[in-house]
Amino acid sequence: MKVSFPYMGSAIVYKKLFEFLEHEVVMPPKPTQRTMDLGVKYSPEFACIPLKMVMGTYLEAIEKGAKVLVTSGGHGPCRAGFYGDTHRNILKSLGYDDVELIIFDAPQDNWRAFFRNVQKIRNGVPWHKVINRMYTLYRFVQKLDELEKMVQKIRPYEVNKGQTTQVWNQIHEKFDKVKTRKQLYEVYEECKQMLLSIPTRKVDEKDRIRVGIVGEIYVVMESSINFGIEEILGNLGVEVERSLYLFEWINDNLVPWILRPKRFKEIIKKGQRYIKILIGGHAVETVGHIIDFKERGFDGIVHLMPFACLPELVTQSLIPKISKEIDIPILSLPIDEQTGKANMLTRIEAFIDLLKNRKRGKTREIFIDNIQEDVQEERVVMV
């Protein structure tokens, strides 16, 4: 079976999953303008941008020969629940009758359907091998996320602009070749050394700015749709951490409730201070993470939401109240198919200025240590 999947964040993880199950994998291309054009053209106008982007990705994967598309469903009252069926209908209307769409909904919603899907993608690989390889994959995701968190803490202080991102791309290539757990740990150590050897500037603890990125999973995880916000912030000298990482997502969603890490339950509990009922999407988690970031001493929050996303609109309307009550600045950015970066950059830059001022207690202070970011906002080298 030629298998493909939506592209979101470190997509090599999904590729590994299907490689371990001995499928022929069609790697979907990272979303570009063309992906968006295709998605927008064939999706309903009122749908949110993740649905359109995933649609575009499916069409590009089918062009590359994919016959089976595997994705996760949504649950709760948000539109993500109908993504799967909408995509299926669109594919049918375009005449791709031979393409199968396998949608994994939360196991507890329908155990029988879940296992039917598992059997489909298990591809006849013996169970003991499946379990062993899935454990390897679990560790694979964990190690990759650990490295990514390092990247996000090193990038703001790199001496040679752009180096961290280059190393991160190399790490992806190295991880792509991993086949066994032994290899994984070796590659992990090697990559860690690569990151640690990047020359960085020493910045005083009191001048470090930390920003948490929260919001709907697709726009938070996929850099092609969010303007590469992690890099933008990193280049402005800001450490970032997302509310979502694949490893945590797996722990939170695929591990049975009883065994789930305590942290996830705590985040949900924090979120329920403001949103008491389940409204789908990631609204409760978003609010929970905002509070969690504040408690962990972060300076500000960037909240990403697909334009007209129901759960995140609820979050957005709560933001002034939350921001005031727990005293942390929050910048909400709606994301749709716009390409102009100027407006977005102005907002982000002004927001970072605001965070720095809060820390230093002055608007006009130019800071010698951070002079690079303080006086030149986007990287421009002038001769």
Partner 1 sequence: MKEIYIGVDVGSVSTNVVAIDRNVNVLFKTYIRTNGQPIDSVKEGVKQLKEALGDVEVLGVGATGSGRQLAGAILGADVVKNEITAHATATIHFVPDVRTIFEIGGQDSKIIIIKDQMVVDFAMNTVCAAGTGSFLDHQAERLKIPIEQFGDLALSATRPVRIAGRCTVFAESDMIAKQQFGFSKAEIIRGLCDALVRNYLNNVGRGKNLEPPFVFQGGVAANKGIRAAFERELQSKIIVPEHFNVMGAIGSAILAKDYIEKTKTRTNFRGFDATDIDFSTSSFECKGCSNRCEVVKVSMEGKVIAMWGDRCGKWTNSL
What residue ranges bind partner 1 (CB under 8 A)? 29-30, 32-33, 160-162, 165-166, 224, 228, 231, 320, 329, 334, 342-343, 345-347, 349-351, 353-354, 357-358, 361-366, 368, 371, 374-383
Q: Are strands 24-25 and 68-72 parallel, antiparallel or unpaired?
A: unpaired
Closest CB to partner 1 among residues 189, 378: 378
Q: 181-196 and 163-176 helices cross at what angle (nearest 10)?
A: 170
Query: Of 222, 213, 212, 285, whose CA–CA distance to 49 is shortest?
Result: 222
Q: Are strands 209-215 and 68-72 parallel, antiparallel or unpaired?
A: unpaired
Cβ–Cβ under 8 Å, residues 222 and 242: no
What minimum distance in Å lies between the beta carbon of 82 and partner 1? 25
Closest CB to partner 1 among residues 279, 308: 308
Q: Tokens 């797996």 correspond to what residue?
A: 250
Closest CB to partner 1 among residues 100, 336: 336
What minimum distance in Å lies between the beta carbon of 174 and partner 1? 17
What minimum distance in Å lies between the beta carbon of 48 and partner 1? 15
What minimum distance in Å lies between the beta carbon of 374 and partner 1? 8
What minimum distance in Å lies between the beta carbon of 69 and partner 1? 20
Closest CB to partner 1 among residues 230, 285: 230
Q: Tokens 């988690």 correspond to what residue?
A: 285
Closest CB to partner 1 among residues 110, 346: 346
What minimum distance in Å lies between the beta carbon of 215 and partner 1? 16
Give the separation between CA 41 and CA 62, rounded to whole angstroms.
Answer: 16
Closest CB to partner 1 among residues 119, 372: 372
- Nearest-10 Cα torsion for 93, 96, 98, 104: -80
Give the separation between CA 355 and CA 353, rounded to whole angstroms.
Answer: 5
Q: Are strands 300-306 and 209-215 parallel, antiparallel or unpaired?
A: parallel
Cβ–Cβ under 8 Å, residues 168 and 151: yes
